[in-house]
Amino acid sequence: MAQSPYKWFFEQTTPVEGHCHAIDRTVFELRTRYQHMEIMETASYGKVLVLDGRIQSSVADDFIYHETLVHPVMMVHPRPESVLVIGGGEGATLREILRYPTVRRAVMVDIDQEVVEACRTHLPELHQGAFDDPRVVVRHEDARGWLAATSERFDVAIVDLTEPLEAGPACLLFTREFYELLASRLTERGALTLQAGMTKLGELEFYASMGKTLAPVFPVIAPYQVSIPCFGTPWGFIVAGKGEDPRQVPGEEIDRRVRDRVRGELRFYDGQAHQHLFSLPKFLRAALLSMGRAITDAEPLIVH
Residues near its own copies, by CB under 8 A: 1-12, 14-23, 25-26, 29, 34-36, 38, 40, 42-45, 50, 52-53, 60-61, 63-64, 165-166, 200-202, 226-227, 229, 232-234, 251, 266-270, 272-276, 279-283, 285
> Which residue number, 12 or 184, has a Cβ lying nearer to its own copies?
12
Distance in Å, CB of 100 to its own copies, minimum: 18
Contact 144, 181 (CB under 8 A): yes
Distances (CA, A) of 152 to 141, 146, 282: 16, 10, 40
Burial of 303 (0-12, 13-18, 19+ CB in 10 A): middle
CA-wise closest residue to 301 among 174, 201, 208, 145: 174
Active-site positions read 160
> Which residue number, 30 or 181, has a Cβ lying nearer to its own copies?
30
> Which residue number, 104 or 267, has a Cβ lying nearer to its own copies?
267
> Which residue number, 167 or 298, has a Cβ lying nearer to its own copies?
167
Distance in Å, CB of 187 to its own copies, minimum: 30
CA-wise closest residue to 51 among 75, 65, 32: 32
3 state DSSP class of 27: strand
Distance in Å, CB of 84 to its own copies, minimum: 25
Distances (CA, A) of 36 to 53, 208, 222: 8, 28, 33
3 state DSSP class of 242: coil
Helix (H) or strand (E) holding 202: none
Neighbours of 283 (CB within 10 A): 10
Distance in Å, CB of 128 to its own copies, minimum: 18
